[in-house]
Structure 1
């Protein structure tokens, strides 16, 4: 970027800085965004394919989850990074529908490109897209139906929809029940759901159908001492976040010991102090102890003698969950321990799962934190099962909080496209074209579902449109049978928020990318490097280390 002044060029940007402007900048950004959407597009729907991602260390991830794919792909282009953010937002907010959001954003940009060709200004397109998004929310809430936390049948359908195509098709029913039971167990009184209160433990070995829900907490630790009981029934549980050890003094203290007797006294006193601590714990009636810090060897011995099962170095997050599950309070010193601060559980037991010892705290009365144990034949199966489970738990939670669900299978998108086309004609002006482009973009969802299932997308789109035109608002594409059916009757439901969030993040990202007409990339060069960003002697190395884009 340089200006002229009396024949001498004035440099404004650093040498090697790259600037693309106007149409070219827009085209490049749109192309990058479309490439990202293309990468995840084939994973959409029950018949979507999976991706295998291998990172620089050779670790393999096999997944169908849009957010995971984009997170694992190392994306360099700034516009493409914005597409990754869409997926992240969608995942944080709703937990599912990430692929939908990204594919929709890609299509909105693709349609905008055609409008730019017709010399329609980006701000006009942006205004039209925003109008269309606003109208979409109204139409969606009109089509949605109510659901209550007691309505487990609908919640199961919501979980089933989220899990379909996530590699868990084989033994889905048992997993769906686990997901719904887990979420309904931890609903707060005010109707909110915090999925953090469901602990998910993955263990290789066994089959997917061996997964189970524990009405309590499972901790991946073993007893502190082999002489402690392995099993305690009707346990009273003490939760401590202080160490059961002799405290060291704050400042360096010297103790001079001049005779063996004094040493013996000193050690005996230490032992007595530890014995006192254990006696205090025993006096409260506790039969199980979970400690966030360490437990001294001598204290372990006394606990074992008292018949108390003790576990040390329990994670803080697990301590909180233990408190919620057992009704106990986490106490910060042994002296504060009272019978009222103890939690209770029907059973505390150490069991071996997949070759590891784990402590089960179960049969809790009305636990507000529960544990899901997921099993599977290989590590990749368990990992993908966890991702599918995470989606199912989140969508059931969102459905309970929002109390509204909507049919899936491409039906809401088709209904929206139909209604938006009618709406466009009432707006007039150039925005009308943008609203029509928005309507056409929404149809990418049913179209992609059909393509991924190996069906003819044009035939399917025509069929699904005509069903909606005759007034069947819930008509969608049954990819298994390859025909148009009523999705609500088929039990394909998603929380309303999946759709509204996907539309809002896709619209915002598309508008933001459209409004950029100038990309100024400063050079990566520092002292003595060529503008490409490599020291002069390294520019022959094929552009630097493999995989780094300069």
Structure 2
């Protein structure tokens, strides 16, 4: 869109029109286009029970992505994830509660939505239980180790007795720490830092499953999901600060030894994790990006449930509206407005060309039909379904997204038009 606008601006500059006039004309045309979008938009009804329209819109955004072979599954995951965390009364979606994680292995079809948190860790001792039911979680950012002086120090041990004293001191400290955790009623420890083999062994002996080296963002997400408090010192631990979850279990993958920890049935039921699988890292990264797009589309509909129709239908309708408005302008701005209308047609032209259709003929036909039938839903039939009505093809775009695209493209071109000259320094 922005590239097409710059191309049109270049033609106008060659004809001697000042950049400021072009910029103002584009601004006026943009206002007409955005206002016209409101008039051609349709409202889509949805609820937590009836998600058909949300699903169709999410599906539109995934049509050209790498995950299109699992089209339906990913669209449903995006809808379910957003509705799980959405506050429909306030029309708000907290993206902090949606985590998208991935692991190499399996296929895209193995992607699942977990109503809880998935972290790439396992229990710290192989003999600890693989599952903890009715978990009361102590979330710690302090290390399981004896306190050390803050200054640089050195400890010289010259005899066996001194070494045994140090060992007894460390064991006593570890035992005290474990007792402080057990006294609160916790039956699972999640720690941001590591602990050595002795602490790990004592935790296992005291039947206190634990997870170590959990990253900061994951710690925060676990605290949000389980309604727990992050505790920086053992002395601050109390029963009220524990996070609660129905079940914490290890998830293993096929024949590999990879394991991940899944925290489900959390106290804050709104936290979800989308766990993406794929054959290699590139596929997973692309799937995550595609899912993010679909989630944003559904989020936009929760914020404002108005849609316009894709396939270039909205752009053609706006182009016609801008051309009509340009005829009523007596100043030189009318040239810039007509150029803006022509730039809008770049979208349906590109769609027709990419679909193997003759671009000019297709655009001319759809444009004349929009005028004669007064139907702004007509676009380019990219899928060869025999109808140009995008409502029948279920090709939807959220109004928020379409409006933002036109506004951003116009702003970008206005900024570039403000540049008078570029001074390039030569290598010599």
Task: Tell me the TM-score normalized by structure 2.
Answer: 0.92
The answer to whether the Cα contact below 8 Å between 1:159 and 1:180 also exists between their aligned partners in 2 is yes
Please state whether the residue corresponding to 1:347 is helix, strand or coil.
strand
Please, which moves more after superposition, 112-121 or 243-252? 112-121
Task: Give the corresponding residue for 1:406.
Answer: 308
In the alignment, is residue 420 of structure 1 matched against residue 313 of structure 2? Answer: no
Task: Give the corresponding residue for 2:253.
Answer: 353
In the alignment, is residue 191 of structure 1 matched against residue 91 of structure 2? Answer: yes
Task: Give the corresponding residue for 1:304.
Answer: 204
Please state whether the residue corresponding to 1:289 is helix, strand or coil.
strand
Map 1:24-423 to 2 at 5 A. 104-147=1-44, 150=48, 152-188=51-87, 190-253=90-153, 260-353=160-253, 355=256, 356-423=258-325
Deviation at 1:207, TM superposition (A): 1.9
The answer to whether the Cα contact below 8 Å between 1:195 and 1:394 also exists between their aligned partners in 2 is no
Distance change in 2, residues 1:338/1:149 (3 Å): farther
In 2, distance between residues paired with 1:228 and 1:445? Answer: 58
Please state whether the residue corresponding to 1:299 is helix, strand or coil.
helix
Higher relative contact order (CA 8 A, sep 6+): 2
In 1, distance between residues paired with 2:423 and 2:70? Answer: 52
In 2, distance between residues paired with 1:257 and 1:381? Answer: 55
In the alignment, is residue 467 of structure 1 matched against residue 369 of structure 2? Answer: yes
Distance change in 2, residues 1:457/1:256 (3 Å): closer
Deviation at 1:254, TM superposition (A): 5.6
Q: In the alignment, which of 486, 506, 510 is matched to residue 409 of structure 2?
A: 506
The answer to whether the Cα contact below 8 Å between 2:363 and 2:380 also exists between their aligned partners in 1 is no
The answer to whether the Cα contact below 8 Å between 1:450 and 1:457 also exists between their aligned partners in 2 is yes
The answer to whether the Cα contact below 8 Å between 1:229 and 1:308 also exists between their aligned partners in 2 is no
In 1, distance between residues paired with 2:20 and 2:385? Answer: 40
Please state whether the residue corresponding to 2:217 is helix, strand or coil.
helix
The answer to whether the Cα contact below 8 Å between 1:195 and 1:393 also exists between their aligned partners in 2 is no
Deviation at 1:201, TM superposition (A): 1.8
Q: Deviations over 1:488-542 (max 9, x none)?
A: 343222222221221122112222223333211234x5xxxxx1xxxxxxxxxxx
In 2, distance between residues paired with 1:317 and 1:205? Answer: 24
Distance change in 2, residues 1:290/1:191 (3 Å): farther
Please state whether the residue corresponding to 2:129 is helix, strand or coil.
coil
In 2, distance between residues paired with 1:196 and 1:468? Answer: 42
Please state whether the residue corresponding to 2:266 is helix, strand or coil.
coil
Deviation at 1:200, TM superposition (A): 1.7
The answer to whether the Cα contact below 8 Å between 1:143 and 1:406 also exists between their aligned partners in 2 is yes
Q: Deviations over 1:47-94 (max 9, x none)?
A: xxxxxxxxxxxxxxxxxxxxxxxxxxxxxxxxxxxxxxxxxxxxxxxx
Q: CA RMSD in A?
A: 2.1
In 2, distance between residues paired with 1:486 and 1:198? Answer: 35
- Gaps spanning 5+ residues in structure 1: where? 1-103, 526-530, 532-550
Q: How many positions carry a matched residue from both structures? A: 422
Q: Deviations over 1:307-328 (max 9, x none)?
A: 2221111111001111121121
The answer to whether the Cα contact below 8 Å between 2:224 and 2:268 also exists between their aligned partners in 1 is no
The answer to whether the Cα contact below 8 Å between 1:237 and 1:288 also exists between their aligned partners in 2 is yes
Deviation at 1:292, TM superposition (A): 0.9
Distance change in 2, residues 1:439/1:282 (3 Å): same
Please, which moves more after superposition, 320-329 or 210-219? 320-329
Distance change in 2, residues 1:121/1:255 (3 Å): closer
The answer to whether the Cα contact below 8 Å between 2:65 and 2:290 also exists between their aligned partners in 1 is yes
Please state whether the residue corresponding to 2:16 is helix, strand or coil.
coil
Task: Tell me the TM-score normalized by structure 1.
Answer: 0.73
Q: Deviations over 1:95-147 (max 9, x none)?
A: xxxxxxxxx11111111222223222222111100101112221112222345
Q: Deviations over 1:152-200 (max 9, x none)?
A: 2222122111111102221211111111111222225743323343222
Distance change in 2, residues 1:428/1:359 (3 Å): same
In 2, distance between residues paired with 1:496 and 1:183? Answer: 18
In 2, distance between residues paired with 1:347 and 1:124? Answer: 65
After TM superposition, the runs of 4+ consecutive aligned structure 1 residues lying more than 3 A away are 145-151, 188-191, 252-263
Deviation at 1:255, TM superposition (A): 5.4
The answer to whether the Cα contact below 8 Å between 1:474 and 1:488 also exists between their aligned partners in 2 is yes
In 1, distance between residues paired with 2:221 and 2:392? Answer: 39
Distance change in 2, residues 1:421/1:482 (3 Å): farther
In 2, distance between residues paired with 1:254 and 1:381? Answer: 51
Map 1:535-546 to 2 at 5 A. none
Q: In the alignment, which of 410, 418, 425 is matched to residue 515 of structure 1?
A: 418
The answer to whether the Cα contact below 8 Å between 2:227 and 2:268 also exists between their aligned partners in 1 is no
In 1, distance between residues paired with 2:383 and 2:63? Answer: 11
In 1, distance between residues paired with 2:237 and 2:191? Answer: 13
